[in-house]
Structure 1
Amino acid sequence: MRVVYDCRYVRVGRHDGISRYTAGVVGELQHLVDLVVLISDERQLEMLPAGIRWRRVSGPTSVLEPLVALQVNRLRPDVVITPMQTMGTAFRRYRVALTVHDLIYYSNPEPPHDLPGFVRVLWRLYHKAWWPQRMLLNGGDAVVTVSHTTEGLIAQHDLTRRPVVVARNAADLPDPSLVATDPDAQAGARSIVYMGSFMPYKNVETLARTAELLPEYTLHLLSRSTPADEQRLRDAAPRARLVFHRGVSDEEYHELLRRSTALVTASLDEGFGIPLVESMGYGTPVVVSDIPVFEEIGGEAALYAPATDPAAFAERIRSLEDPAEWRRRSTLSRAQAERFSWAESARAIAGLAGELTRRARSR
């Protein structure tokens, strides 16, 4: 069974969510199947496991995308897995599983700012109705999604007749020796961390207003921000102690987690939430909005607050100033993080690929 995995969404230089998911899954999947990955830029190989077999094809935002299967057919795959649902499938001679990470952009239609202009226009048109999603998903042979929450939404909106398999997001967990090495210091650190974009559905204004209610706390905003983002948040909470890092390395991110009281996020909607798993992996508690997917990820370890209630967020953070409560949440957090693994997700995808291959060969 030859499996081809579409790695054309891997970022150059630094992962985003889909890029990290792709690299995590293929790192384990290569041990389970005969695997070849697709790239569109050889620099993507720097972000993928060393020595992985690859082939180069046109990019996912190219005008050639509707007919990309003509290029992929040359590899003679049994199954192709793509981490998006937009891969061209016309004239394919293989089974394909398409991935849906979330349905955020139906209720929050603003596209990511780094997409080409014509793609941003198509993005908005695509999310004005459900039928384009149904057409794409039913054009494949199976659907992969990254959470049981999104699996439920796919069923609720009747988006596909194809089988749906959950292969959850995960994170590379640190060695236990690096977990919560000084819990008393973290409980009293008066430092909270946010890792994520500044798009409207991320609702970062609530976090800024929370920090304003906690005058002795510093809110570290780690992702790349624009002057407009920063001014908007300073206007929302002029007395808050906000530090804009404008992007950090993985090492800087992990070190901040190890020195902070909590990771916080007030998202109105998400498909998953890798920062939660990353923070819990370091034993750093998370205080998050009470949306279903965060409850799936955080379980009993996380502290929850209504997404638009800064006072509730502040109260939950204050509760972690008690060293005993911080230690309890820290222990629960590490145990919860260990429930998510790339190996488990890769096994789910390998199982799906095997089933699709058996169906094809039995015809």
Structure 2
Amino acid sequence: MKVLLDLQYLNVATTGIKTYMMELAHAALTYPHPDIEWVFSHDPENQSADQTFKGPQSKIQRLNYHLDYFRWKEFQLPDLIKKHKPDVLICLDFISPAASLPCRRLTVIHDAFFWQMPQNYPKWWRTYFLSLLRKGIKKNTELITTTEYSKRSLEEYLGKVNPITVIYQAPKSLDSGLDTTFLEENDLATKQYFLHIGTFDKRKNLPLLVRAFDQFLKKTKTDFKLVLAGGAGQSVQMNDFPIVEKLLEELGIQDKVLLPGYVNDEQVRTLYKNAFAYVFPSENEGFGIPVVEAMGTGVPVIHSDQPALLEVAGAAGLAFKTGDQQDLMEKMIILSLDNAQLNSMIQNGLEQSKKFSAQKFIEGFQNVILKK
């Protein structure tokens, strides 16, 4: 069985989707199946390192990217299929070619945000993107998604015409070294800070976390800090970074909250390894990869009771009511005062994280590929 894996989107992918694509490619090579021959459209490392369309973009540059993406999906990828003659095409970035193809399609749709949260996207772009998405779903298309919650959400908007399979993804392999100077340079004490890693997208609800942390400091009189690592939201509509900056100034806690921007793998591992707890206040997630990353490094997780996060964290997380600042603050205080619960969450989290291995990730795809 020959399988063509479309990795073109790695030239712009960030955070969750980038992790998904890279880990699947690595797992395909690490855990080969005797009945599957993998063909990669691009070398994953080289495509991920391509800087052509990364960074701040003018309108012309963004238009050029969209034209490049369209050309790839509708012309170059079908030509690659003619060349390699795969039995299965896997597209990991929502979009499959609109043209009829002589092979099965597995299309990964990570979440239903485009339908659920239209206010977070430019209207013209959302209309265009959803049109591409729907045109790529043919009779021989099988959909893959990340959680049962995402499956239910997609069925609501796409119906049940095409089969949808849930495959839990694997977290990023955090096997790099540690940045031994990072904590000292940023005045961070081990186990004395709460952590969040990710973009400042509005759905992440980071202003809520900042306000809850401010309350936490006032109530506990502790020297804890808060680290919000990651870049700006992906569009003007989605970006809460300026709001967070303004909020820190209004609350007068600039010295208590670190905004280091994007951090490299060694810094990510350092932040996880030394954090007191990870806090995930998101309003909506398709999976929530930081939950697994944090638990796998022995960090307890406080998260909103959003369905995907409850599904991924299981009983190992400490959930608060989504959007409830008071409840979040109380959960942060509880964890800071109860060593027994803290230690229990660490152990339960380590066990829960084992459910999301690279081997199980690729086996999920292998089962779908080889099913009769």
Q: TM-score range by the shorter chain?
A: 0.7 to 0.9
Matched with 2:210 is: 208
Pick which of 36-45 and 312-321 moved more: 36-45
Tell me, in whole angstroms, the C-alpha distance in 2 between the residues paired with 1:93 and 1:251: 44
- The correspondence for 2:38, drawn from 31, 35, 40, is 35
Pick which of 292-301 and 20-29 moved more: 20-29
Contact 1:198-1:225 within 8 A present in 2 as well: yes
Find the residue that maps to 2:315 and give its secondary structure: coil
The gaps in structure 1 that reach 5 residues or longer are 48-57, 113-119, 179-185, 359-363
Contact 1:25-1:343 within 8 A present in 2 as well: no
Contact 1:126-1:132 within 8 A present in 2 as well: yes
Match runs of 1:60-75 below 5 Å: 61-67=69-75, 68-75=77-84
Contact 1:219-1:242 within 8 A present in 2 as well: yes
Matched with 1:99 is: 108
Query: Residues 287 and 60 from structure 1, CA distance in 2 versus in 1: closer, same or farther, beyond 3 angstroms?
Result: farther
Matched with 2:299 is: 284
Matched with 1:83 is: 92
2:17 is the alignment partner of 1:7:
no
Find the residue that maps to 1:62 and give its secondary structure: helix
Kindly indicate which of the two structures has a greater share of residues assigned to helix: 2
CA displacement at 1:252 relative to structure 2: 0.9
Tell me, in whole angstroms, the C-alpha distance in 2 between the residues paired with 1:7 and 1:65: 11
CA displacement at 1:258 relative to structure 2: 1.5
Number of aligned residues: 327
- The correspondence for 2:260, drawn from 245, 254, 270, is 245
Matched to 2:281, the amino acid is: A
Query: Residues 60 and 330 from structure 1, CA distance in 2 versus in 1: closer, same or farther, beyond 3 angstroms?
Result: farther
Tell me, in whole angstroms, the C-alpha distance in 1 between the residues paired with 2:16 and 2:172: 13
Contact 2:294-2:300 within 8 A present in 1 as well: yes
Matched with 2:151 is: 151
Q: Deviations over 1:91-148 (max 9, x none)?
A: 4221111111000122323567xxxxxxx66532157x8x875553345421111111
Contact 1:73-1:94 within 8 A present in 2 as well: no
Tell me, in whole angstroms, the C-alpha distance in 2 between the residues paired with 1:60 and 1:139: 26
Matched to 1:331, the amino acid is: Q
Tell me, in whole angstroms, the C-alpha distance in 2 between the residues paired with 1:171 and 1:294: 14
Find the residue that maps to 1:340 and give its secondary structure: coil
Match runs of 1:154-169 below 5 Å: 154-169=154-169
Matched with 1:17 is: 16
2:361 is the alignment partner of 1:331:
no
Contact 2:98-2:132 within 8 A present in 1 as well: no
Query: Residues 288 and 109 from structure 1, CA distance in 2 versus in 1: closer, same or farther, beyond 3 angstroms?
Result: same
Structure 2 length-normalised TM: 0.79
Matched with 1:317 is: 332
CA displacement at 1:188 relative to structure 2: 8.5
Tell me, in whole angstroms, the C-alpha distance in 2 between the residues paired with 1:251 and 1:166: 31
Query: Residues 62 and 224 from structure 1, CA distance in 2 versus in 1: closer, same or farther, beyond 3 angstroms?
Result: same
Contact 1:59-1:65 within 8 A present in 2 as well: no
Contact 1:173-1:281 within 8 A present in 2 as well: no
Q: Deviations over 1:252-287 (max 9, x none)?
A: 111111211111111111111111100000110111
Contact 1:5-1:38 within 8 A present in 2 as well: yes
Structure 1 length-normalised TM: 0.80
Find the residue that maps to 1:320 and give its secondary structure: helix
Matched to 1:192, the amino acid is: F
Contact 2:11-2:49 within 8 A present in 1 as well: no
Query: Residues 64 and 338 from structure 1, CA distance in 2 versus in 1: closer, same or farther, beyond 3 angstroms?
Result: closer
Matched with 2:231 is: 224
Find the residue that maps to 2:38 and give its secondary structure: strand
Q: Percent identity?
A: 23
2:355 is the alignment partner of 1:352:
no
CA displacement at 1:234 relative to structure 2: 3.7
The gaps in structure 2 that reach 5 residues or longer are 51-65, 179-187
Contact 2:87-2:104 within 8 A present in 1 as well: yes
Tell me, in whole angstroms, the C-alpha distance in 1 between the residues paired with 2:242 and 2:67: 35
Q: Deviations over 1:59-79 (max 9, x none)?
A: 961335223313322111010
Matched to 1:288, the amino acid is: H
Matched with 1:257 is: 272
Contact 1:146-1:167 within 8 A present in 2 as well: yes
Tell me, in whole angstroms, the C-alpha distance in 1 between the residues paired with 2:92 and 2:44: 17
Query: Residues 221 and 160 from structure 1, CA distance in 2 versus in 1: closer, same or farther, beyond 3 angstroms?
Result: same
Alignment RMSD: 3.1
CA displacement at 1:35 relative to structure 2: 0.4
Find the residue that maps to 2:108 and give its secondary structure: strand
Matched with 2:308 is: 293
2:185 is the alignment partner of 1:170:
no
Tell me, in whole angstroms, the C-alpha distance in 1 between the residues paired with 2:174 and 2:81: 37
Query: Residues 40 and 335 from structure 1, CA distance in 2 versus in 1: closer, same or farther, beyond 3 angstroms?
Result: closer
